[in-house]
């Protein structure tokens, strides 16, 4: 029995280092993947969730991104968070706010917050990583140009890493702190994130950041907070968004 | 927008206190539910997972337990952990160990460990609780007569609670430490757990603890670690297990 599990954990090729990267198909997670793959040299296992998000197009982007990076494996886990609801991204009865171009982003947690989303997604990333024998997990959260989500802050990521090490075989048998949650964008502005990704060779045309794009063409709405933050990021570099 | 979410969070009746209880249909989670409902007076929202477990019968038990406790709502979330595998409880190619009656339980983490299971299940419990406006979550883990799982230890539960408070709207807007993870069985032996439940009026005939019972009758195998621990618990009280 134990040997069977051990085989599974050891199936990762020796001499390679591999990482699980959470991939939403958006600009941030794709930049995090570029850093993991091209800057830090990890072989990539990308992980996405079909969680009942209104933006169905982003899963198609996650697939394109996986092909672009030639990931070793792309796992899409179905997990219907509409059963839980409570977010404009999953509940039909809660609209996604659209803003006028001159309207400031609010500092309060917006209705697009998905309850405990990064906690849930990171937990499943830890499970998959553990079975693959991988200790490194990348997530493209950032705490500067973001939407005020509590699960994008450094204190949450640090605490999650501790918890994951306490609650898993890999964390307890592999020595303290073996599981590492990498959040390489956490202290960057959107402009810095995009500059970094472009320098590494990311094709942002493959990505979708809009909360509610056209489901067929993927054309962004241009008015949701996520579109607004992305536009400002490209504008700060004097560039046009390749998706517009 | 904000008001819509607020309505949802406030939908819990005033003057009542409510808790989300993780319910597997086993003896431990059912005892935790009895403590939450009958000792502490919480209205119960029970949460189970159809996670690809070999023991399909336990979901039927979780439904019976929910009816027995007249819970306010019983949510069963489908989440196919067979996509991740790595455990004897979900992977067909890994057998559940059966032991001779005189064989000691091992102190190592056994193949029935499901990678990051309590991390994943607690994360989803936090999400549901947050949408319901509930701050109290019960889980029937115990660190004495258990199977050596790292995610059943007090250090993990404490760290998870901190992480959940850092990563959610409820934890950050509701004041530090608002979300409480109750693990009332964590320092009890199996005999103490069953004595407590029996004193409160639990009908253990409704529960299933076996890792691989007969799928139709629910008859326990009697030889897996979970059966062995349950048998010893009842034996320590001079009782027979009502399921045998």
Q: Are B186 and B32 contacting, i.e. CB atoms less than 8 angstroms apart?
A: no
Of B88, B109, B171, which has the smallest distance from its Cβ to A173's Cβ? B109
Pick from A1, A88, A113: CB nearest B94: A1
Task: Tell me if B150 is assigned to some domain.
Answer: yes
Query: pLDDT band at B2, cuts 50/70/90?
Result: very low
What's residue B171's pLDDT?
87
State pLDDT tens for residues B116-165.
999 999 999 999 999 999 999 999 999 887 777 899 999 999 999 999 99
Is pTM beyond 0.95? Reply is no
As a whole number, the mean pLDDT across chain B is 90
pLDDT for A176 equals 55
Over the stretch A186-240, which tens digit does the pLDDT of each residue have?
999 999 999 999 999 999 999 999 999 998 889 999 999 999 999 999 999 999 9
Inspect the interface and report whether the beta carbons of A1 and B168 lie closer than 8 Å.
no
Chain B CB contacts of A114 below 8 Å:
127
* pLDDT for A175: 60
Phi, psi of A200 (to 5 degrees): -80, -15
Lowest mean pLDDT segment, chosen from A68-77, A142-151, B205-214? A142-151
Q: Is the pLDDT of residue A15 over 80?
A: no
The minimum CA-CA distance between B9 and chain A, rounded to whole Å, is: 8
Q: How confident is the model at residue A117 (pLDDT cuts 50, 70, 90)?
A: very high
ipTM for the predicted complex comes to: 0.91
Binary contact (A126, B119; C-beta < 8 A): yes
% of residues, chain B, pLDDT over 90:
76
Average pLDDT over residues B88-107: 85
- Chain B positions touching A87 (Cβ under 8 A) are 5
Domain that holds residue B205: 2-236
Average pLDDT over residues B176-182: 85
For chains A and B, CB pairs below 8 A equal 179
Q: Does B4 score more than 60 pLDDT?
A: no
Residue A142 has pLDDT above 70, yes or no: yes
List, in order, residues 6 or more apart from A143 with CB less than 8 Å away: A152, A153, A154, A186, A187
Mean pLDDT of the region B96-101: 84
Alpha helices in B27-153 (DSSP H): 27-34, 57-68, 117-132
Mean per-residue pLDDT, B91-99: 90
B166 at A interface, C-beta within 8 A: yes
What does the pLDDT read at residue A242?
87
Residue A1 is predicted with a pLDDT of 37
More confident residue, A75 or A147: A75
CA A7 – CA A131 distance, rounded (Å) = 10
How much is the pLDDT for A66?
98
Confidence tier at A174 by pLDDT (50, 70, 90): low
CATH code of residue B199? 3.40.50.620
Q: Which residue of B has its CA nearest to A92?
A: B4
Q: CA-CA distances (angstroms) from residue B117 to A120, A131, A220, B109? A: 11, 12, 37, 14
Partners of A155 on chain B (C-beta within 8 Å) are 166
Which among A2-11, B106-115, B116-125, B221-230 has the top mean pLDDT?
B116-125
A243 in any annotated domain:
no
Contact A167 B150 (CB under 8 A): yes
Count structural domains, chain B: 1
Q: Is residue A244 part of a domain?
A: no
What pLDDT score does A13 carry? 46
Q: Mean pLDDT across the stretch A42-64?
A: 96
Residues of B in contact with A167 (CB under 8 A): 116, 118-119, 150-151, 156, 159-160
Do the chains contact at A167 and B116, CB–CB below 8 Å? yes
Q: How confident is the model at residue B82 (pLDDT cuts 50, 70, 90)?
A: very high
What pLDDT band is residue B203 in, cutting at 50, 70 and 90? very high
Q: A146 or B90: whose pLDDT is higher?
A: B90
pLDDT score at A177: 61
Query: What is the reported pLDDT for B62?
Result: 98
CA B53 to chain centre: 14
Q: Which residues in chain A have their CB less than 8 angstroms from residue B77's CB?
A: 79-80, 83-84
In a domain, B244, yes or no: no
According to the model, what pLDDT value does residue B7 have?
Answer: 45
Comparing alpha-carbon positions, the chain B residue that sits nearest to A83 is B77
Closest CA–CA distance from residue A210 to any residue of chain B (Å):
18
Cα(A49)–Cα(B120) distance, integer angstroms? 14
Looking at per-residue confidence, does B100 or A74 come out higher? A74
Query: What is d(CA B129, CA B232) in angstroms, rounded to the nearest whole number?
Result: 35
Put simply, the chain A residues between 182 and 211 with a CB less than 8 A from any chain B CB are: none
Does B225 fall in a domain? yes
């Amino acid at each position: 029995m134990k040997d069977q599990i051990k085989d599974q954990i050891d199936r990762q090729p020796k001499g390679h280092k591999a990482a699980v990267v959470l991939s939403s198909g958006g600009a941030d997670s794709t930049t995090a993947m570029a850093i993991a793959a091209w800057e830090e040299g990890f072989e990539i296992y990308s992980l996405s969730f079909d969680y009942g998000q209104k933006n169905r197009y982003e899963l198609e982007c996650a697939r394109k991104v996986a092909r672009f990076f030639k990931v070793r494996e792309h796992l899409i886990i179905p997990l219907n968070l509409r059963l839980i609801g409570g977010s404009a991204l999953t509940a039909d009865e809660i609209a996604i706010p659209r803003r006028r171009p001159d309207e400031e982003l609010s500092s309060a947690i917006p209705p697009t917050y998905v309850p405990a989303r990064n906690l849930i997604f990171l937990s499943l990333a830890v499970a998959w990583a553990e079975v693959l024998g991988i200790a490194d997990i990348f997530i493209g959260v950032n705490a500067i140009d973001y939407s005020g989500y509590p699960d994008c802050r450094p204190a949450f990521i640090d605490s999650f890493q501790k918890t994951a090490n306490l609650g898993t075989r890999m964390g307890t048998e592999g020595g303290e702190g073996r599981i590492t949650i990498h959040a390489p964008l956490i202290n960057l502005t959107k402009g810095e994130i995009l500059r970094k990704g472009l320098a590494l060779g990311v094709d942002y045309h493959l990505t979708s950041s809009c909360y509610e794009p056209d489901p067929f063409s993927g054309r962004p709405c241009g008015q949701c907070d996520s579109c607004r933050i992305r536009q400002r990021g490209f504008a700060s570099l004097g560039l046009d968004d390749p998706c517009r």
